[in-house]
Chain A
């Protein structure tokens, strides 16, 4: 416990992450399954996102403040085939500082679009998004995207890609390189530092994209299905690594996924969206203790209930959200 908390204060993420991962693992072994801050009957009731007092000291005791506010955002696309396409309809959402929020929804419901709006890459047709009270009008290094399409720089090696952000922020080469090498090792690509993106598999590219964004320490991570192209094993490992990083740095994460499991496993909050037009259907607080260990969580009835309930809602929304 102590080790975990000590590790969190530091900002140089890549250093010592191996240790933290180990301590996370050891830690998990000694936390009995039944240690739980609040065993609610109904998992769906709105409870504070992180009730377990032994996990919250980082953000101190003060109530979490909103870092991102999305106010009545709508997005209309002019399509070549149809006239206007309402991709997002009146989305309002508040994301608290340090929260891990997943966006879950069927393909084409506007998850990526919403992420682009928060990133400042796309300006919404109406409404606005804010970060720390300031309107988002452009991208910035405070928000780090990990795109569904990776978007690596093909002329840079793996190391060159990961170092790009820190170098741009003015970190000295030697330092940027050391940090980047540690990150590359963390995402399991040690030995591939000098490979070009074309020489990597899809899953490897995705891991480079993740490392490249983590490298410049954005306050908010905007991740668009970052584990979509990975095999089950790597996916699990990276989920754990992401959780470790998150538990240490308490970055705010906005995480798009198709996978209900993944959303419940990782998140404080799951935002369920429905399709045509893209709307928020429900926001579910996930009240499971942290640190979370996958093999333990899978056996946890409360976790299972979340997954089953959300899947059921998904089926309903499929029926309800069919295009008319």
Chain B
């Protein structure tokens, strides 16, 4: 199938951006000649060593597992809570102050306390990821549920839907675009909190490899890990975006705004 020039440009753009970034990096590191700033080529060369090493791979997979569990549980808890808050003033009045207290606190800052209670194992790190993901998902679900058109709920009520059915079958789908925006933010936050949690409680994980290498002055490994984590972020986001676009095809804007960069 032939691709139109516009589509071709859109497909090629991310690849070009990555190549451009690596090129700038290469030139800059060659110019600076700093030990702690390896060239792009050196960093990229270190990637197969990391991925080929069984222990490193186990570490990375352990990170991903914690992230998946933390993200999954957070989404499963936060969406219902956010939706209930959006449709019930009493529930919102109860939870809003609690969330407002937690919201501005960097979740990693809570880690030392959680470590005291739950140790340095998986539970602590997963809990921190859970906290990081929850807030944006709750917030967006809440906003999405609040914005659901009243007449839509009335139409459902007239067809005989009970309040619980309306929440699941009208509020949830109607708020879905907003909820998924929250989930996308949550996914990026999951990756961030995953790395920071492993930086604080060094025991296993991708963050552990990164910061150990930093301590030992293996800068090519450090930068290779940054590339790996970055690539993981890009892939997860791309997959998520695919799923999101599928689920909310019905709500996407009809027309491309000229000169918009979306």
Q: Decide: A149 and B149 in contact? CB cutoff 8 A.
A: yes
Check if A198 is an interface residue, CB within 8 A of chain B. Answer: yes
A151-B152, A155-B250 known; A141+B174 contact, CB < 8 A:
no
- Residues of B contacting A121 in the complex (Cβ-Cβ under 8 angstroms): 154, 157
Within 8 A of B (CB), among A173-214: 196-199, 212-213
Check if A153 is an interface residue, CB within 8 A of chain B. Answer: yes
State which size class the interface on B falls in: 10 to 19
Check if A164 is an interface residue, CB within 8 A of chain B. Answer: yes
Tell me, rounded to whole Å, the shortest Cβ–Cβ distance linking B151 to chain A: 4
Q: Decide: A218 and B254 in contact? CB cutoff 8 A.
A: no
Q: Which residue of A lies closest to B248 (CB)?
A: A155
Tell me, rounded to whole Å, the shortest Cβ–Cβ distance linking A241 to chain B: 21
A140 in complex: contacting residue of B152, B160, B248, CB < 8 Å: B160
A139 in complex: contacting residue of B157, B173, B250, CB < 8 Å: B157
Within 8 A of B (CB), among A263-319: none
Q: Which residue of B lies closest to A147 (CB)?
A: B151
- Residues of B contacting A143 in the complex (Cβ-Cβ under 8 angstroms): 158
- Residues of B contacting A145 in the complex (Cβ-Cβ under 8 angstroms): 154-155, 158
- Residues of B contacting A151 in the complex (Cβ-Cβ under 8 angstroms): 149, 151-152, 154-155
Within 8 A of A (CB), among B131-174: 149, 151-152, 154-155, 157-161, 170, 173-174
Q: Which residue of A lies closest to B170 (CB)?
A: A153
Q: Decide: A165 and B159 in contact? CB cutoff 8 A.
A: yes
- Complex formed: what's the CA distance from A141 to B152 in Å? 15
Tell me, rounded to whole Å, the shortest Cβ–Cβ distance linking B44 to chain A: 44
- Residues of A contacting B4 in the complex (Cβ-Cβ under 8 angstroms): none
- Residues of A contacting B170 in the complex (Cβ-Cβ under 8 angstroms): 153
- Complex formed: what's the CA distance from A145 to B155 in Å? 7
A196-B250, A199-B254 known; A141+B173 contact, CB < 8 A:
no
Check if A119 is an interface residue, CB within 8 A of chain B. Answer: yes
A149-B149, A151-B149 known; A119+B250 contact, CB < 8 A:
no
The A interface is mostly helix, strand or loop, or mixed, namely loop
State which size class the interface on A falls in: 20 to 34
Check if B262 is an interface residue, CB within 8 A of chain A. Answer: no
The digit string for A109-149, where 1 denotes a CB below 8 A from any CB of B, is 00000001001110000000000000000111101110101
With contacts A119-B158, A139-B157, A168-B161 known, what are 10 further pairs, Cβ within 8 A? A121-B157, A143-B158, A153-B152, A153-B155, A155-B248, A155-B251, A156-B250, A165-B159, A198-B254, A216-B159
State the B residues within 8 Å of A (CB): 149, 151-152, 154-155, 157-161, 170, 173-174, 176, 248-251, 254
30 contacts between A and B (CB under 8 A): A116-B154, A119-B158, A121-B154, A121-B157, A138-B157, A139-B154, A139-B157, A140-B160, A145-B154, A145-B155, A145-B158, A147-B154, A149-B149, A151-B149, A153-B152, A153-B155, A153-B174, A154-B251, A155-B173, A155-B250, A156-B250, A164-B159, A168-B159, A168-B161, A169-B159, A196-B249, A197-B250, A212-B155, A213-B158, A216-B159
